[in-house]
């Protein structure tokens, strides 16, 4: 009885203890809930008070200046739009873009309280959006990826075929050419794919077998129509002469062809070309300024393909890559040898890459200034006297030999690349086609793939095609399959993480714009590629390969818009060197080598904002006015040079390529360049101007400089909202003209009046000021380096994943930024962290 009572009382006590504990827990939970509610209420109050006092006058539902409406924003954050709005508020308040300086200003304590509240709210909302990130739309290969892939599969350059020359113009999205939603496919494009596949396969693998043949040309060297009279009179067409580089309006002697070889070579193949040539009058006593040429440099001769059926043989054609180059001797004619690949029907043409600019103008000026030296002087375009008695600089060719197609071992590179080292074997045809299909599809073939490939081959056999022709027709089918044309994913729809083969393709196209090689394919086949350590190992290996130049070229074309150089070229009379020296290519190469150097050395991406070095060739050194212009030779190519004592350059904003693409060719604008800096450096997209806002030329009478025009234009409040954020980012770049030359004064308006002095000073909405270009870069370095680094991470992710980043991706971007900062902002670290991120590795 006592025992039972004791147990009963103990149980009663235990229940009491538990009840007391539960009650205490309930009280604690209630207290915590009350505390959370109190904290949430406090956070809401901080935001509401700040917005009401400093923002809603301009950004309520009624006005929404700059297309920004904040009246409906409230905490807690529960939607993606709220996240985007919170980001915009944080950016504007951090950079002191809001409120405008003519409005009441919050104290530093109020700004910090708002920023802390919003950042905490964004962090608390992270879990709500963890699984709602975007997905990459299955995309087709871009045109450049398509050609790179075919060159890889056939182990030979294919740019001589111009397979994509007639393809529709590629769509880009925010200058990116890898975005799945933009890479649309039309019925016309599908027809072009079929035509391109048939042409490639038949030209390279279906060509007839032919023994080498020789051609020898010694006369009938007819040229550009305007040169015919002089050449008939002086040379009787016994010499082929080149008078100018090809990037001119006239092309007089810009392209030299073989009149008796217009039909071109009979089959595609390697050909030996021998040219008996001499550089004439490189020591001319005529004023070098007439020719706009550097006579200290030896003359160069280059070979490009031509096709008489595709347009004027003396003018640029769609397909004319430089096939080979050589230095031309001065003292006497010598044989120069080239080994080049020509497609069936192509004829070799000869160009003078570093020749005089605009031969016609040079001839006119020489006839005028040196007429007393000729027996029968003629004023005008006549070059007869110059050729007979004068010292007109040019390249003279007396003989040309062509021999080919040259035999290649085992049937040539394409034969071995497609069918293996032994070439096509009828008894192994199916096996060989399966092997090629796996390389083309970038994954193991499934049963339906094999069935389809074998069915096409056997169908062609049943139609009396030879086994080889049946195999070639099957290759065409493979090259028109969606599995080849698209970066299709075999990862199941219900899985988020990419499976190994999909990951391998995404990685190889991000870094090489080409299919996985054997080692990467093996890593995918083993399953190791999804392991972070193995993925990092492959990233480092791919980056160390020369093929990663495709990543550098493609990414810089997208991030810095370098792809657009040349879309708005400058007038020839204002920037002749842009054409005469082929500056666009040098401009691009400077940025590429700068990026490559940072990538190889894991250098800080902050160097993109400012650096005490860059990479230039002789052309850029001259454009920049660097001392190296006097010591560099064209043969030296690009060299790293110090900018330690030069405050006019440094970083991408001092590069001619960026300065050219952010101008319109004719003049410059702080608005255009300011928008470029906002979007490409800081990652901020300004809203488009409202429809009711007039063009900048409206009501600016009396304004004499672009700054004065903008001041008048911005007096309209609707204009001021945006221009206060944009214009100060462009004023510092006004010290550069439309092709990136340094200037301190503007050119005369239409050649009249006096020149206005450039004012490169500015004041940012944050209150920060600068007086010149170096001061502007200092502001970026001191207060916007993380904004820049974060933007670069986002650009890399967008380019590599094939989709634009969404607000819900920003959490991981923040995490990547933290790791990159810990590694001193190293570019290789940034690329590696980007390509091992969940975003990159997910569908």
Pick the closest to residue 776 from 697, 702, 674, 691 (CA basis): 674
The CA distance from 538 to 518, in Å, is 12
Q: What is the pLDDT of residues 106-156, one digit of tens each?
A: 887 777 787 778 777 777 776 666 544 566 777 899 999 999 999 999 999
DSSP 165: T
Q: What is the pLDDT of residues 515-550, one digit of tens each?
A: 999 999 999 999 999 999 999 999 999 999 999 999
Res 699: pLDDT: 34
Domain extents for the chain? 2-129, 213-406, 568-598+607-779, 785-841
Low-confidence ranges of the chain (pLDDT < 50): 1-26, 29, 32, 131-132, 691-692, 696-703, 718
Please identify which residue in the block is written with the tokens 């096409």.
Answer: 456
CA distances for 463 relative to 124, 450, 459, 472, angstroms: 68, 20, 6, 14
Pick the closest to residue 240 from 212, 208, 276 (CA basis): 276
300-306/769-770 β-pairing: unpaired
- In sequence order, what are the residues at sequence separation of 6 or more whose Cβ sits closer than 8 angstroms to the Cβ of residue 384? 229, 230, 233, 234, 378
Q: Kindly report the CA angle at 461 between 459 and 463, in degrees rounded to 5?
A: 75
The CA distance from 265 to 270, in Å, is 10
The CA distance from 152 to 516, in Å, is 10
Consecutive H or E run containing 762: strand 762-763
CATH architecture assignment, domain 213-406: Sandwich (2.60)
Under a CB-based contact definition with an 8 Å cutoff, are residues 319 and 196 in contact? no
Under a CB-based contact definition with an 8 Å cutoff, are residues 581 and 570 in contact? no
DSSP output for 564-631: GTTSSPPPTTT-HHHHHTTHHHHHHHHHHHHHHHHHHHT-BGGGGT--SEEEE-HHHHHHHT-GGGGT
Report phi then psi at 326, rounded to 5: -155, 160
Pick the closest to residue 788 from 653, 676, 683, 672 (CA basis): 683
Considering the entire predicted model, what is its pTM?
0.84
Under a CB-based contact definition with an 8 Å cutoff, are residues 768 and 783 in contact? yes
Helices (H), ranges, 345-428: 359-369, 384-389, 413-419
The CA distance from 601 to 608, in Å, is 14
DSSP 499: P
- In sequence order, what are the residues at sequence separation of 6 or more whose Cβ sits closer than 8 angstroms to the Cβ of residue 705? 746, 756, 759
SS (H, E, C) 216-267: EECCCCCCCHHHHHHHHHHCCCCCEEECCCCCCCCCCCCCECCHHHCCCCCC
SS (H, E, C) 639-684: EEEECCCCCCCCCHHHCHHHHHHCCCCCCCCHHHHHHHHHHHHCCC
Res 661: pLDDT: 95
Pick the closest to residue 400 from 224, 245, 242 (CA basis): 242
DSSP 46: H
Report phi then psi at 176, rounded to 5: -85, 135
Question: Residue 571 corresponds to which tokens in the numbers above?
Answer: 């007038």
* Percent residues over pLDDT 90 in the chain: 64
Query: For residue 100, is the peptide bond before it cis, meaning its omega torsion is within 30 degrees of 0?
Result: no
DSSP output for 510-565: HHTSS---HHHHHHHHHTGGGSHHHHHHHHHHHHHSGGGHHHHHHHHHHHS-GGGT
């Amino acid at each position: 009885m006592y025992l039972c009572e004791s147990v009963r009382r103990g149980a009663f006590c235990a229940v009491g203890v538990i009840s007391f504990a539960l009650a205490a827990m309930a009280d604690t939970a209630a207290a915590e809930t009350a505390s959370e509610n109190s904290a949430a209420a406090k956070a809401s109050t901080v935001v509401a008070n700040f917005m009401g006092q400093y923002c809603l006058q301009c950004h309520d539902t009624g006005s929404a200046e700059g297309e920004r409406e904040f009246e409906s924003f409230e905490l807690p954050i529960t939607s993606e739009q709220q996240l985007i709005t919170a980001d915009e508020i944080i950016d504007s308040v951090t950079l002191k873009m809001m409120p405008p300086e003519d409005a009441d200003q919050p104290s530093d304590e109020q700004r910090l309280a708002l920023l802390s509240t919003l950042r905490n709210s964004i962090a608390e909302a992270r879990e709500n959006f963890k699984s709602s990130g975007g997905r990459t739309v299955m995309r087709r290969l871009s045109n450049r990826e398509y050609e790179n892939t075919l060159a890889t599969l056939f182990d030979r350059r294919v740019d001589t075929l111009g397979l994509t020359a007639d393809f529709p113009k590629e769509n880009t999205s925010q200058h990116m050419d890898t975005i799945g939603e933009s890479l649309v496919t039309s019925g016309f494009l599908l027809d072009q794919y079929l035509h391109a596949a048939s042409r490639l396969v038949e030209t390279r693998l279906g060509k007839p077998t032919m023994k080498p043949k020789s051609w020898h040309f010694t006369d009938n060297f007819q040229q550009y129509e305007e040169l015919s009279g002089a050449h008939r009179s002086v040379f009787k067409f016994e010499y082929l002469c080149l008078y100018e580089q090809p990037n001119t309006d006239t092309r007089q002697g810009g392209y030299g062809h073989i009149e008796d070889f217009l039909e071109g070579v009979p089959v595609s193949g390697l050909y030996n070309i021998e040219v008996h040539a001499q550089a004439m009058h490189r020591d001319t006593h005529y004023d070098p300024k007439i020719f706009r040429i550097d006579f200290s440099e030896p003359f160069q001769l280059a070979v490009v393909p031509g096709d008489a059926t595709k347009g004027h043989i003396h003018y640029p054609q769609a397909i004319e890559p430089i096939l080979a180059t050589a230095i031309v001797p001065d003292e006497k004619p010598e044989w120069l040898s080239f080994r080049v690949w020509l497609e069936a029907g192509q004829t070799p043409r000869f160009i003078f890459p570093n020749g005089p600019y605009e031969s016609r103008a040079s001839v006119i000026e020489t006839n005028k200034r040196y007429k007393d030296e000729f027996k029968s002087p003629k004023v005008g375009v006549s070059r007869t006297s110059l050729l007979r008695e004068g010292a007109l600089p040019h390249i003279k060719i007396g003989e040309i030999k062509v021999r080919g197609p040259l035999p290649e071992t085992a049937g040539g590179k394409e034969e071995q690349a497609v069918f293996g080292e032994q070439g096509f074997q009828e008894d192994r045809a199916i096996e060989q086609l399966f092997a090629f299909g796996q390389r083309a599809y970038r994954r193991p073939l499934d049963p339906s793939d094999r069935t389809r490939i074998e069915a096409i081959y056997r169908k062609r056999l049943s139609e009396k095609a030879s086994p080889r022709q049946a195999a070639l027709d099957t290759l065409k089918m493979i090259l028109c399959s969606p599995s080849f044309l698209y970066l299709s994913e075999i990862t199941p729809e219900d899985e988020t993480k990419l499976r190994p083969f999909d990951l391998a393709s995404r990685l190889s196209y991000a870094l090489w714009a080409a299919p996985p090689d054997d080692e990467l394919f093996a890593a995918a086949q083993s399953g190791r590629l999804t392991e972070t350590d193995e993925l990092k190992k492959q990233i480092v290996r791919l980056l160390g390969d020369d093929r990663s130049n495709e990543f550098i070229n493609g990414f810089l074309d997208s991030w810095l818009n370098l792809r657009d150089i040349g879309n708005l070229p400058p007038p020839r009379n204002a920037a002749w060197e842009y054409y005469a020296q082929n500056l666009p290519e040098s401009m691009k190469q400077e940025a590429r080598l700068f990026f490559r150097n940072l990538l190889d050395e894991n250098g800080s991406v902050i160097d993109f904002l400012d650096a005490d070095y860059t990479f230039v060739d002789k052309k850029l050194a001259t454009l920049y006015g660097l001392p190296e212009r006097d010591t560099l030779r064209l043969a030296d190519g690009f060299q790293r040079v110090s900018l330690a004592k030069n405050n006019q350059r440094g970083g991408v904003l001092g590069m001619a390529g960026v300065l050219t693409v952010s101008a319109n060719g004719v003049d410059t604008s702080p608005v255009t360049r300011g928008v470029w800096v906002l979007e490409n450096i800081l990652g901020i997209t300004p809203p488009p101007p409202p429809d009711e806002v007039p063009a900048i030329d409206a009501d600016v009478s009396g304004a004499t400089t672009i700054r004065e025009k903008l001041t008048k234009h911005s007096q309209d409040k609707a204009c001021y909202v945006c221009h206060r954020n944009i214009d100060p980012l462009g004023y510092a770049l006004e010290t550069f003209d439309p092709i990136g030359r340094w200037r301190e004064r503007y050119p005369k308006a239409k050649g009249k009046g006096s020149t206005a002095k450039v004012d490169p000073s500015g004041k940012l909405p944050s209150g920060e000021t600068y007086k010149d270009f170096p001061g502007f870069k200092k502001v970026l370095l001191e207060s916007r380096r993380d904004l820049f680094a974060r933007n670069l991470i986002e650009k890399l992710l967008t380019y590599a994943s094939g989709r634009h980043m969404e607000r819900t991706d920003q959490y991981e971007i923040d995490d990547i930024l933290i790791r990159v900062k810990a590694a001193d902002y190293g570019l290789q670290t940034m690329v590696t962290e980007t390509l091992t991120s969940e975003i990159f590795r997910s569908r």
